[in-house]
Chains A and B, each alone.
Chain A
Amino acid sequence: MSLAAGPGTEAASLQPIDLSGVDAEQAASWYRSMALIREFETTAEPLVMQGRIPGGMHSAVGQEATAVGVVGALAATDIVTGTHRSHHITLAKGLAPDLIMAELFGKATGPLGGRGGHMHLADLSKGHFGSNGIVGAGLGIALGAALAASVTKTGQVAVGFLGDGAANIGRVWEFVNLASIWTLPLVIVCENNLYAVETPFTQVTGGGDIAGRASGFGLPAFKVDGRDVAAVHRIAAAAVARARGAEGPTFIEALTYRHGGHDVGDRETYRTKDEVERWRAESDPVLRLRRSIVDAALLRPAVLEAIDAEVAAQVAAAVEFAESSPYPDPATLLDNVTGIDMRIRGNL
């Protein structure tokens, strides 16, 4: 991994984050989660290029703080749904990296037995109600999970992630409206990473203000620095408390940036290298947290280095596990399409 304390962490341009009120345990937990996501993504990317992971991949490098800040504010029984770019949310929700990696490889040992893959990760038993390959769709599932929580009074909160591209999908605003009028325990997190595939946010977003659109539906809407895990966590914790208190949904627009292209192998002809470098240098969310932890003397650098080594070993083991796992049995192809048996003679 490229996180070793070095030039990146020392860069004068790296903006510090406010860790007041954050203890060493919390800081270590955030750092471990974010470093794991960074390590997982940077390890998986070349495996996609080599064809060892089939089907492409959308890397969440640069967006670690949104997942860790938001999911860290949830209870284990709470629910999240993600977008096509959701490895960070999946890892933050506690799915093991070896199992996720096996799913990416299409192996039987993945949590979905290879039926989901990179874009459709889920584990309902852990409150992960799916990454979703269709822009905006995950929010709809979170909406429904929140409806069930409200009707059956489970006390659960649901979080639906979306991107800036989804802000131009009409049904997203159907979802926001329904959550608002039914006062559902939903937290809506828009990760605005400035690009919808290759199209800049500013080119396609009328009014230029996603949170502003949301506020028109009668729910609190906030913008937050999505590359500052502490700031994300503070606003998410407030939104979760509001939802848990049956006060209704909250919309959070987390301003962030995608370090890589839309997908692995993207040639990135639509933005300059300088632009990417400026974002990395000023606000790489992992390096900002790392530097601020050291500056605040919350953890010694040696502790952070030990965490780096641990997550590197964890991800290396995940690749080994995925590589050595079996593929699904071909005889299982038609299993579990429906609950009832559709295999009436001649029907398949």
Chain B
Amino acid sequence: MSERATLSQAYRQGLAEEMRTDPRILVYGTDLFERGGHWGQVRGLGSEFGRDRVRNAPISEAAMVAAGVGAAMNGLRPVVDLNFIDFAFGAMDEIINQAAKIRFMWGAPMPLVIRGTNGVAGGGAQHNNSFESWFAHTPGLLVAMPSTPADTKGLIKSALRGEDPVIFLMHKLLAGLRGEIGGAEDLVPFGRGTVRRPGRDITVATYGVTVPRSIAAAGQLASEGIEAEVIDLRTIAPLDLELVEESVRRTRHLVVVTESQRHGGIGAEIAAALSESLYDVLDGPVLRVGAPSVPVPHSAPLLVLATPSADDIARSLRAATAARVS
């Protein structure tokens, strides 16, 4: 690992490398060929691979995803780029009722990647959804939520060599995040989290944009004598509960952090699963940090309240460890 790139560049490089070695991969979506997507995520791929493999599509999400499903069944490895994952709602049947179930019903691989940016960055309620839990709740789908350029490249490469439909979610605020990236064979497996910051006193399980926020919160706690271990799950389907359990056995405390709503989400699942499996080990309740159940507002003072911050996470870490500290 020596080369540095932004998260968008890392995605593009991973996709381009795989397209060079696998002619079955093609990518299509709105504004891709010339513009390279709304985040520059496929910039330059049009001129390298031509209009057969980098296609501009009409604003027809259902048709894009449906075509991806059928093409995957007939030998291709399509990447459908929705730009914003918010637009997936126009293709929910294709994702949930078709792509996710075809392997189970018909015994066929479904190597289909659906990429979109997700999460809160401003712009109001309809372009800032964090509905990764919906997808993770669907049997048959894999869901990637990388927080670093290296993981973005490594996970898209794994997705493109796998057999499963993948919802590939890249956070808007991380698109320009710069970091080291791996080489052509540095793949990141699905279902394996990683420890971003080691710590002995409390475990933070998170993914995506709240990874850097959790690391910042851990920094605050360190000055107060509490060392938090931050786990980046990297994918939420599959979910690396094993890594979380291993950590909690040592720290005896757990806070789960998501940018999406606390209520009924994947964070609640992690909390419930760990409460079941490590009830005797935990020294206190598993706490959750997440958004309140409200659409994402436009106005800045409201947006702050609807978006979990590093300070919010630090407050939960203090509350979770309060018994031990006092």
Residues of A near any B CB (own CB < 8 A): 79, 81, 112, 115-116, 120, 122, 124, 129-130, 132-134, 137, 139-149, 151-152, 154, 156, 158, 170-171, 174-175, 177-178, 181-182, 336-342, 344-347
Contacts and interface: CB of A to CB of B under 8 A. Distances in A.
A143 B93 contact: no
Contacts of B24: 152
Given A120-B105, A145-B71, A140 B94 contact: yes
Interface string B97-138: 110001111111100000000000000000000000000000
B106 A130 contact: yes
Contacts, number: 171
B62 interface: yes
B322 to A, nearest CB: 27
A132 B105 CA distance: 11
B70 A148 contact: yes
A178 B75 CA distance: 19
Interface stretch (B50-58, B168-176, B178-186, B285-293): B50-58
B67 A345 contact: no
A178 B190 CA distance: 33
B82 to A, nearest CB: 14
A133 B90 CA distance: 18
A186 to B, nearest CB: 10
Interface residues of B, number: 55
A328 B276 CA distance: 32
A144 B66 contact: yes
B81 interface: no
A130 B190 CA distance: 29
B67 A181 contact: no
B238 A336 contact: no
A106 B26 CA distance: 37
B94 to A, nearest CB: 6
Contact of A151 (B53, B65, B68, B105): B53
Contacts of B241: 344-347
Interface string B56-81: 01101011111111111111101000
A133 B101 CA distance: 12
A338 B106 contact: no
B98 A141 contact: yes
Contact of A145 (B74, B94, B140): B74
A143 B63 contact: yes
Contact of B97 (A134, A145, A171): A134
18 contacts: A81-B70, A124-B107, A134-B93, A140-B62, A140-B67, A141-B73, A144-B72, A144-B78, A146-B70, A147-B70, A154-B75, A174-B58, A340-B142, A340-B164, A340-B190, A342-B238, A344-B242, A346-B277
B63 A129 contact: no
A239 to B, nearest CB: 18
Contacts of A341: 191, 238
B86 interface: no
Contacts of A120: 105-106
Interface string B29-68: 0000000000000000000000011010110101111111
Max chain B Cβ within 10 angstroms of own Cβ: one of A79, A139, A142, A151: A151
Contact of A152 (B63, B70, B76): B76
A255 to B, nearest CB: 26
B151 interface: no
A178 B103 CA distance: 25
B66 A175 contact: yes
B240 A337 contact: no
A178 B60 contact: yes
B264 interface: no
Contact of B162 (A148, A156, A336, A339): A339
A145 to B, nearest CB: 4
B281 to A, nearest CB: 14
